[in-house]
Structure 1
Amino acid sequence: MSDCGCHHEAKNAQEQRVLRIALALNAAMAIIGGIAGWIAQSTGLLADALDMLSDATAYAIGLIAIGRTTRFKANAAWLSGSVLLVLGLGVLVEVGRRVIHGAEPLSGWMIGTALLSLAVNVTVLRMLSPLKSGEVHLRATWLFTRADVVANFGVILAGILVLWLGSPYPDFFIGTLIGLYVIKEAVEILGDARQARTESTPPTA
């Protein structure tokens, strides 16, 4: 009975359940956050929504990767990191566009939406906690969510400052910080993927 592979199958089933729930929650919040960011003219909320969308992509890739080879999982993590890097750079471009053309972010929308996102991300982070020391594609999903929690706190603070100061610049500032943080996480994930690729490549004779 010890060689039946039952423990491996149970582990995969648990991973699939966690990733499916995380995927659904992040996809929903990406849509909600994107709409709220557009209405609120907030680069911080738009950046956060893009981050949630990248998370949903990571969870989808994580589901596909379960039960696959180490090489496949490393490639999945590499794709996740690449998507996150592109989105992070896109956030910085959007911040620059709004600084030039102007915007009037609505603090109430920023704070309320970010609080909802924070509740979702804390829930998902707790669910993913057992996976953070797992294989590279699963570690990537945990890193994505950890970045989201930090971003949520930043958007809440920016919303408070926008209300207090009557200025859009706290929103521009947090949008920039989220973009830079997203890029940092992308580089970390790409580094993990590169290492996993190297370890999965058989030595040449």
Structure 2
Amino acid sequence: MVHTEIAMASCGSCCGSDVKFEGLSPDYKRRLWAVIGINAGMFLVETGGGHLAGSNALQADALDFLGDALTYGITLAAIGAAAATRAKAALFKGFTLFLMGVWVFGSTAYHVLVLGIPRAELMGAIGFLALAANVTSLLLLIRYKDGDANVRSVWLCSRNDAIGNVAVMIAAAAVWLTTSKWPDLIVAAIMAGLFLWSAFQILRQSLAELREPVSLSAG
């Protein structure tokens, strides 16, 4: 049974195949639980580190970790549910990601008016730790990167995390070199844009799946 489910996961990523992996694999669920733990732990680390460093980019990344932990929990709850339920769960996650992007944009705009330069060395250290956590998550999930909207949203969130951590480390180096807060704020704004773009992708796929519930059930 497990081998069949893994084969379905692989088939879902084949070119021209209409089969979409729905998360019905014990291995996939175990990996999700591991990634939830990683993200919850890094949310706590980056929340504290972001405040200590005075970094808006780190705080934005911490919010992303929290959003991902919640997103993966919703994904687990929706696995095995009806196609329309899975698509609605993805739709909810898409709206959540959109709101996160809007919040980070607003927070960044506010911090433009606030004096203070982030502590580059702390930004870089925490950014490196977060990158290691997200690369681990990506390696755990890469086998299941293609699937229905519920499964795909997990991959997009994890990919965003890794990109965001690389950006935070670049911002830390730029803050150290320029002794300016602007690199931190620019990276936070770029991350917000990435949140919004991923939200658009998730919303578009989930809405398409909601319009074709019969085809999903048949897959």
TM-score normalized with structure 1 length:
0.92
Q: Which residue of 2 aligns with 1:116?
A: 129
CA drift of 1:87 comes to 0.8
Contact 2:42 2:62 in 1 (8 A): yes
CA drift of 1:79 comes to 0.9
Is 1:150 paired with 2:163?
yes
Q: Which runs of 5+ in 2 are unaligned?
A: 7-22
CA drift of 1:98 comes to 0.9
CA drift of 1:16 comes to 1.2
Q: Which residue of 2 aligns with 1:21?
A: 34
Q: Which residue of 2 aligns with 1:37?
A: 50
Contact 2:2 2:26 in 1 (8 A): no
Q: Which residue of 2 aligns with 1:126?
A: 139
Identity across matched positions, percent:
30
CA drift of 1:154 comes to 0.5
CA distance in 2 between counterparts of 1:83 and 1:59 reads 13
Q: Give RMSD over aligned pairs.
A: 1.9
CA drift of 1:169 comes to 0.6
SS of 2:212 mapped into structure 1: helix
CA drift of 1:166 comes to 0.6
Matches within 5 A, 1:166-181: 166-181=179-194
Q: Which residue of 2 aligns with 1:95?
A: 108
Q: 2:198 aligns with which of 185, 188, 195?
A: 185
Q: Structure 1 residues 5, 100: closer, same or farther in 2, change over 3 A?
A: closer
Which digits, 9 at most, give the CA deviation of each residue in 1:72-129, with x for residues without a partner?
1101111111111101110111111111122321101111111111111111111111
Is 1:198 paired with 2:211?
yes
Q: Which amino acid aligns with 1:107?
A: A
CA distance in 1 between counterparts of 2:112 and 2:213 reads 45
Contact 1:12 1:66 in 2 (8 A): no
TM-score normalized with structure 2 length:
0.86
